[in-house]
Structure 1
Amino acid sequence: MRIKTTNGIRRLSLGNARNIAFWVVLFLLILALFNLFSGPGSTMQSREISYSEFVEAVESGNVSNVTLDGEHVRFRQEDGTDYVTIKPSDAEITQLLIANDVSVRAEQQQQSGFQTFLMSLLPFLLLIGVWIYFMNRMQGGGKGGAMGFGKSKAKMLTEKHGRVTFDDVAGIDEAKEELEEIVEFLRNPQKFSRLGGKIPKGALLEGPPGTGKTLLARAIAGEAGVPFFTISGSDFVEMFVGVGASRVRDMFEQAKKNAPCIVFIDEIDAVGRHRGAGYGGGNDEREQTLNQLLVEMDGFEANEGVIIIAATNRKDVLDPALLRPGRFDRQVTVGNPDIKGREKILGVHARKTPLGPDVDLRIIARGTPGFSGADLANLVNEAALGAARVGRRFVTMIDFEQAKDKIMMGAERRSMVMTAEQKEMTAYHEAGHALVGIKLPKCDPVYKATIIPRGGALGMVMSLPEIDRLNMFKDECHQRLAMTMAGKAAEILKYGPDSVSNGPAGDIMQASALARAMVLRWGMSDKVGNIDYSEAAEGYQGNTAGFSVSANTKELIEEEVQRFIQDGYESASKIIKENEVEFERLAQGLLEYETLTGEEIKRVMNGDPPVPPADQADKPDSGATTSVTAIPKAKANKRPPSEGGLEPEPSV
């Protein structure tokens, strides 16, 4: 437990004093209002009559004694009833009472001088109470209130909120090694200062979404045992001018009081973009906030013991002044994990999940290339939910396979009504993709083919790379184009050019993107040459930052893109024609079984049943579908984008 500093105690005492003063003033106001409206106690219980009735009662002898209280006259008649009346200012009531032998007793007025004074001060006390209330709100008593614009929205996390250490972070060992040194600085600064080393002022974590940047920052705070302030970049910017800069100053003031500590700014690109790029110029509120952040990180005043850690997915849009040494001394790239990292991440997320004896996390890791840490956490969660849905006591490999298919291909839409013609065309379309993918050696191995609608597709063929892909080669790209265009080629060969559907729209989109990348960015076209035309293409589409190219060059680029796609289509058509028997067997197998794995596809193409008879006898019958898909003997990894998703027909 951390001990509060003297400044913190003084601030707490001032806040308590304001609160006490506010409640005292409120109590006095309530007391004054009560006395004002309550009046004398007997007045509230006495019956009021007119003065003439009172005189008549005195003269008739029905009044035995009278109490005079200023302008009030209280008396009791013979029947025991109490009455009260108000005496006129010019009435000689004393002489009247003495003349009729009435006992007279005079009392001092119930309202004291203090009460009279208090009632005169009531409006002023009310204004003072309102003023104290708003001052309390402005001084931090309500950061989220209307007067708390300039206060920082940073939240301080301590160990009681859930301590995270480096043991909870897996799959990004290189990033952990770079950040472990910051932990050593916070734990033992003398170790480095005796050699002239200075504690880093900031570390920028850059990488795709879901790779664990926020988790890394929390792990640093958990390992070092220091306070951890977290805030989003968008929390600084408001519609009021100067609010963002004020919040930056307040955040650093809080951090200095709790030093050594860590301040984590998530999505810093919301406030740290290039200055001068917007329409507001130098007076833009976001730029003022960025300027204040730059000054606080490395200005005249030193921020000893305050380390800034920021995370972003877009390092390229940040201002250069923010990235220079002295502000963000460490720039750590947190990328998607490799196969070893994915296995470790799966182990971390599966700690609280009971796994079946058939679960092999390494096989799952090999089948999930491109998955981030968040994707793998979602995979384990979906597998656990699927196992619980069917009433299992632990999670099996089948649950992981089904969860992976759901995440990467979408949920099955078995309730979708398809005619026999639509189902048959889908089967031949996907059979074309699978056949060409198997026949071309540079294509990724086919993992699964299905004609069950998933997501927005009526059918799908998924491929798995053997290893994590780092490079893309020219011959591999051409073969992938052939596999992508194989669905349309299969439809035309089976039904004729006039009966082709709009199903290949997704294939054409994928093929066009790949072919344009080959020509515009990767220099794989001999006619276009080794020039990056991607900026020119963006400028042609409306981006003024792109440079201009001649009309002949544009025409040449389009011709090369069209040639690459057409070559892929012709190559796919040739392969399907040469393997017509296997193509027909595979299409009929998909119509019968709906879903086939890679090994099952090869057996069906050879004319064998998808599952050997011995395995078929041991295979449990779920009764939910005619599919005979077994647990894949996975030897490959999964690539997130699918090959050849057949899009549904548009509704009329």
Structure 2
Amino acid sequence: MAEQKPDRPNRKPGRPGPGNGNLKYRSGLVGWLLFIGLAVLLVMLVKSGNRSQVKIATGDFWNAFNADKVAVLKVESDEVSGKLKEKTTLTVDGQAVPVSEFRAEFPTGYMAQRGFGELLNAKTTTRIEVDNRDSFWLNFLLPFIPWLLIFGFIWFFVFRQIRSAGGANMLGNFGKSKARITSKEHTHVTFEDVAGVEEAKDEVMEIVEFLKNPKKFQRLGGRIPRGVLLVGEPGTGKTLLAKAIAGEADVPFFSISGSDFVEMFVGVGASRVRDLFKQAKDNSPCIVFLDEIDAVGRRRGSGFSSGGHDEREQTLNAILVEMDGFETNEQVIVCAATNRVDVLDPALTRPGRFDRQIYVPLPDIKGRMEILKVHSRKVKLGPNVDLMKLAKATPGFSGADLAAIINESALGATLAGKEFIEQDDMEEARDKVRFGRARKSRVIDEKEKLATAYHEAGHAVIQWVLRPDSDPIHKVTVIPRGNYGGATMSLPEKDRSNYSKKWCLATMKVLFGGRIAEEMFCGDVNTGVMSDIRQVTGLARKMVTEWGMNDRLGFVFYGDDDSKPNMFGGFGEGKAYSDETAKTIDEEVKKLIDFLYEEARQLLTTHKDRVDAMAKALVKYETLDASDVDRIMRGDNLNKPTISDLLDQQSRSGTVIQPGPTPSAPDVTPGFGAMPSPG
């Protein structure tokens, strides 16, 4: 099929295009310029006559006139104006003002009865001009000039727009769809650029095959899917898959965001939906991509604004009708993306509208490796870069996170003056993406630094002792990074899709280690433990209420069902159990936390000397890797140089010494997770 490249897909015969609309555009511009010029000229003419004249009292006028100080006098009805022979200081509104040109107003009929005769009979050299024209019309029209300008403005802006829209659509262009049409020549993304989501990519490739060769699939009576819904976490590549469809398909590709349907006017969303699908039908076969469809596709009938005139529901109704109504077009495939499929209306996700729901998951280790290869094509990698090692060290990272790591490593290497990216640049970029930039220039009080060191040492010692139930340690640092004063980073051994009870209990004990170590060695506690408390409480409550890991409450779900709407317009039924059960839940959560807290305290008491050694090493070196932690826990001494030693050596030798990358753990570092804990 020949590719269609319409300038405007739904252009009707006779409608002027971009080329032949220049004359109309120029005529409108000339009209605007004339209107603005006349308005400015009119205002200037009104104000120019009175700009330099000073209004004086009638007594001052007669004194000047009788003293023969007036050179020229103009008489108009009951107002006189003129020019003095020389500047004279007069009192105007209580202030002495030098007056050269003046005007004075007399009571109505004064000049006709008395004043005009006095002017003519006076013995003066003043040149008197009499204007006998009646100024009634001028005085009558002056108040209407601002209103004329306002109505002229409205006429140009509103009525001309309505006339240009044909007069039928009172909203003008508001009801037109904002969809962007994209062909394969205008996008540079193909399926080769999509990695890490092979199953989702295969299903999307089938859609392209349906459009390219529909008879192949209709041979056995099959029907082309009407809709495909891409579901997944943010950053997993849903929009990238849609761009790949546009790059691979030989059909028009319309893309629009869900928020583009809703505007300030009621009914605009539904109008834009109808216009979008009209364009799509005129250019069928084609693909329509609705990004972030949850903006207009949320479940109906929830909240207080659930009436029939709700703008969002009207837009959703229009989408439902267009996707599977009486006039369904088999050649238009709708592709949508969202990360909140749980809030979508059931009528939207049923078969016949969105026949397929393609889940786009977070990539596994193989997928992360492929994604890193794709994004590293455009950067210069050094010979020591091991992408597989980085892929093993980034479980839970999305494709967007991995792209950010490559970009941040390139920026860091550029700022360091390197010719290519090295492995330590990748490591620093990974930590920066996950936790934020290291704030090495921050001045930290020694007492606060010591408390942070014992806090992180408490985490690290318990995490090392509880192996293999806890994740292996990757790095312990007291350098502030992001919002955290320090962090104990861990490396999971595999991609974890669920959590065992042993892992949950071990993780909670590790979280307790920071506060307990501060109590044991510093004799005081601080607010830096807030993040640990939140994590422990959330984990314990989920174990009791949602994961059935409590013997007293048993195998019963006591959490909130986020998929069901509530009366307040949100989702989640709230508390669906009695007050006695709620009290039992609180008791069991507190009981579990207290029991594990005491076990963690006993562990640290047993390894108190290791905690002290770890904290002192953190104060000295600031950052310890997995091998350093292993040596400290075995009782060995660390003899590596500190940053201060390197700087002293540099000053003595006069040569520049670049501190090498922190020795990383052995190749048994196949994952990355962390437990940041603000010190």
Name the TM-score, length of structure 1 as normaliser.
0.77
Counterpart position of 2:268: 243
1:603 has 2:631 as partner: yes
Counterpart position of 1:2: 4
Q: Secondary structure at the match of 2:583?
A: helix
Q: Distance in 1 between matches of 2:576 and 2:215?
A: 57
Q: Distance in 2 between matches of 1:565 and 1:129?
A: 71
List, as ranges, runs of 4+ consecutive aligned residues in structure 1 with deviation greater than 6 Å: 14-18, 24-31, 126-132, 536-539, 541-544, 617-628
The structure-2 alpha-carbon separation of the partners of 1:494 and 1:191, relative to structure 1 and needing over 3 Å to count, comes to: same
Counterpart position of 1:226: 251
Aligned amino acid, residue 601 of structure 2: S
1:485 has 2:512 as partner: yes
2:343 to 283, 308, 317: 317
Measured after TM superposition, the shift of residue 536 of structure 1 is 8.9
- 1:35-89 residue CA offsets vs partner (Å, 9 max, x unmatched): xxxxxxxxxxxxxxxxxxxxxxxxxxxxxxxxxxxxxxxxxxxxxxxxxxxxxxx
Within 5 Å, give how 1:21-40 maps onto structure 2. none
Counterpart position of 1:552: 580
2:483 to 442, 448, 456: 456
Measured after TM superposition, the shift of residue 495 of structure 1 is 2.9
1:299 has 2:325 as partner: yes
Aligned amino acid, residue 198 of structure 2: D
Counterpart position of 1:55: none
Measured after TM superposition, the shift of residue 305 of structure 1 is 1.7
Aligned amino acid, residue 422 of structure 1: E
Within 5 Å, give how 1:66-465 maps onto structure 2. 133-134=160-161, 137-138=164-165, 147-280=172-305, 281-441=307-467, 442-465=469-492
Unaligned runs of 5+ in 2: 38-152
- 1:271-328 residue CA offsets vs partner (Å, 9 max, x unmatched): 1111111433122111111111111111111323211100111111111111111111
- Give identity over the alignment, percent: 49
Counterpart position of 1:112: none
Confirm or deny: 8 A CA contact 1:176 1:216 kept in the other structure: yes
1:567 has 2:595 as partner: yes
The structure-2 alpha-carbon separation of the partners of 1:229 and 1:629, relative to structure 1 and needing over 3 Å to count, comes to: same
Confirm or deny: 8 A CA contact 2:177 2:273 kept in the other structure: yes
Q: Distance in 2 between matches of 1:609 and 1:260?
A: 71
The structure-2 alpha-carbon separation of the partners of 1:134 and 1:595, relative to structure 1 and needing over 3 Å to count, comes to: same
Aligned amino acid, residue 4 of structure 2: R
Measured after TM superposition, the shift of residue 545 of structure 1 is 2.1
Q: Distance in 2 between matches of 1:25 and 1:452?
A: 64
Measured after TM superposition, the shift of residue 148 of structure 1 is 1.1
Q: Distance in 2 between matches of 1:363 and 1:128?
A: 68
Counterpart position of 1:43: none
Confirm or deny: 8 A CA contact 2:235 2:400 kept in the other structure: yes
Confirm or deny: 8 A CA contact 1:336 1:370 kept in the other structure: yes
Aligned amino acid, residue 635 of structure 1: V
1:629 to 659, 662, 671: 662
The structure-2 alpha-carbon separation of the partners of 1:132 and 1:476, relative to structure 1 and needing over 3 Å to count, comes to: closer
Q: Distance in 2 between matches of 1:30 and 1:405?
A: 58
Counterpart position of 2:527: 502
Counterpart position of 2:616: 588
Aligned amino acid, residue 360 of structure 2: V
Measured after TM superposition, the shift of residue 23 of structure 1 is 5.3
The structure-2 alpha-carbon separation of the partners of 1:611 and 1:408, relative to structure 1 and needing over 3 Å to count, comes to: farther
Q: Distance in 1 between matches of 2:498 and 2:9?
A: 59
Confirm or deny: 8 A CA contact 1:593 1:628 kept in the other structure: no
Aligned amino acid, residue 488 of structure 1: R
Measured after TM superposition, the shift of residue 457 of structure 1 is 1.6
Q: Distance in 1 between matches of 2:502 and 2:377?
A: 43
The structure-2 alpha-carbon separation of the partners of 1:257 and 1:211, relative to structure 1 and needing over 3 Å to count, comes to: same
Q: Distance in 1 between matches of 2:517 and 2:175?
A: 65
The structure-2 alpha-carbon separation of the partners of 1:513 and 1:552, relative to structure 1 and needing over 3 Å to count, comes to: same
Aligned amino acid, residue 395 of structure 2: P
The structure-2 alpha-carbon separation of the partners of 1:601 and 1:18, relative to structure 1 and needing over 3 Å to count, comes to: closer
Aligned amino acid, residue 179 of structure 2: A
Measured after TM superposition, the shift of residue 159 of structure 1 is 2.9
Q: Secondary structure at the match of 2:378?
A: coil
Q: Distance in 1 between matches of 2:187 and 2:253?
A: 12
Q: Distance in 2 between matches of 1:409 and 1:249?
A: 45
Name the TM-score, length of structure 2 as normaliser.
0.74
Measured after TM superposition, the shift of residue 627 of structure 1 is 9.7
Confirm or deny: 8 A CA contact 2:261 2:315 kept in the other structure: yes
The structure-2 alpha-carbon separation of the partners of 1:628 and 1:295, relative to structure 1 and needing over 3 Å to count, comes to: closer
- 1:428-455 residue CA offsets vs partner (Å, 9 max, x unmatched): 1111100000000200001100011111
Aligned amino acid, residue 2 of structure 1: Q
Q: Distance in 2 between matches of 1:618 and 1:415?
A: 17
Measured after TM superposition, the shift of residue 12 of structure 1 is 4.4
**Further displaced range: 407-416 or 372-381:** 407-416
Q: Distance in 2 between matches of 1:384 and 1:196?
A: 53
Counterpart position of 2:495: 468
Q: Distance in 1 between matches of 2:228 and 2:410?
A: 36
Q: Distance in 2 between matches of 1:19 and 1:327?
A: 43
- 1:406-439 residue CA offsets vs partner (Å, 9 max, x unmatched): 1122211122222211111111111110000000
State the Cα RMSD in Å.
Answer: 3.6
Q: Secondary structure at the match of 1:405?
A: helix
Counterpart position of 1:52: none
The structure-2 alpha-carbon separation of the partners of 1:550 and 1:321, relative to structure 1 and needing over 3 Å to count, comes to: closer
**Further displaced range: 458-467 or 2-11:** 2-11
Unaligned runs of 5+ in 1: 35-125, 648-652
Aligned amino acid, residue 675 of structure 2: E
Measured after TM superposition, the shift of residue 14 of structure 1 is 7.2
Aligned residues: 547
Q: Distance in 2 between matches of 1:137 and 1:378?
A: 47
**Further displaced range: 151-160 or 361-370:** 151-160
Q: Distance in 2 between matches of 1:157 and 1:637?
A: 41
Measured after TM superposition, the shift of residue 234 of structure 1 is 0.9
**Further displaced range: 375-384 or 220-229:** 220-229
The structure-2 alpha-carbon separation of the partners of 1:644 and 1:482, relative to structure 1 and needing over 3 Å to count, comes to: farther
Q: Distance in 2 between matches of 1:323 and 1:544?
A: 20
Measured after TM superposition, the shift of residue 643 of structure 1 is 2.1
